[in-house]
Amino acid sequence: MTTPHRTTPGEWRDGLEETLESFDETGGHRVLSRVFDELGVEDALSLVVLPYLHDVGERWSAGSIGVAQEHFASHVLRSRLFVLMEAEEHSDGPLAVLACMPGEHHEFGLMATAIVLSRLGWRSSYLGANTPTAELARTCRMLRPAAVVVAAHRSTAFAAHAPALRRLAGSTTVHLAAQGATDEVAELCGASRLDGDPVWAARALHEAHGRPAPDLAEPTAV
Ligand code: B12
Q: Could you tell me the domains of the chain?
A: 9-85 (1.10.1240.10), 95-208 (3.40.50.280)
Residue with the nearest Cα to atom 21 of ligand 1? Answer: 57
94 lines ligand 1 (CB under 6 A): no
**Quick check: 221 pLDDT over 60?**
no
pLDDT tens by residue, 51-76: 999 999 999 999 999 999 999 999 99
39 lines ligand 1 (CB under 6 A): no
pLDDT tens by residue, 67-119: 999 999 999 999 999 999 988 777 788 999 999 999 999 999 999 999 999 99
Query: 25-30: which pairs have CB atoms within 8 A and are 24 or more residues apart?
Result: 25/72, 25/76, 28/73, 28/76, 29/76, 29/80
Atom index in ligand 1 nearest the CA of residue 201 equals 47
53 lines ligand 1 (CB under 6 A): yes
DSSP per position, 115-175: HHHHHTT-EEEEEESS--HHHHHHHHHHH--SEEEEE-SSHHHHHTTHHHHHHHHTTSEEE
